[in-house]
Amino acid sequence: MKRTIAMGLGALSLSVTTLVGVAPAQAADSEINADCPGEQLCLYQYKNYDGSVSRHARNAKVKNLSSYNFNNRTSSIKNNTYRNFRLYSGASFSGASYTSRHDSSDSTLGNNNFDNKATSLRYLT
């Protein structure tokens, strides 16, 4: 998998890998920490970490994000934990999946064919 250090906010989306379902890049810590403090996984309603936010602990297992009013609403993500997380298009960890690597962020899930598709999530050991 290709990894790219972020040189700017716009650079990430231009250097993504075509490998579907895997976060392509690791952003600077300052960017990750901006509005996702501590050891949290943060889901955002819109791309570029905008709109409503749904925050989850590093040991989170969510069978249906509707419990957080966030079903099929995630468009960008920050993973400020030391764990990799997997998001699923179906409830109870089923369907297509997207992996969010530890200490990384993804400004848009649109180029991962996962925009507004996340319904469940859990951390990976």
CB nearest Ca ion: which residue? 106
**What are the structure tokens assigned to 94, written together?**
């089923």
Q: How far is the CB of 12 from Ca ion (least distance, A)?
A: 7
Contact range with Ca ion by CB under 5 A, out of 31-39, 80-88, 99-107, 117-125 = 99-107
The structure tokens listed for 76 are 């960008």
**Under rule CB under 5 A, residue 74 binds Ca ion:** no
- Within 27-125, residue ranges assigned H as helices are 29-33
Q: What angle do CA 56, 99, 87 make, to 5 degrees?
A: 50
Cβ at position 117, least distance to Ca ion in Å: 12
Segment interacting with Ca ion (CB under 5 A) among 26-34, 42-50, 84-92, 106-114:
106-114
Q: What are the two backbone dihedrals, phi and then psi, of residue 107, each rounded to the nearest 5 degrees?
A: -75, -15
**Residues within window 23-62 making contact with Ca ion, judged by CB under 5 A:** none
Supply the DSSP symbol for 95. E
Which residues of the shown chain bind Ca ion in the complex (CB under 5 A)?
A: 106, 108, 111-112
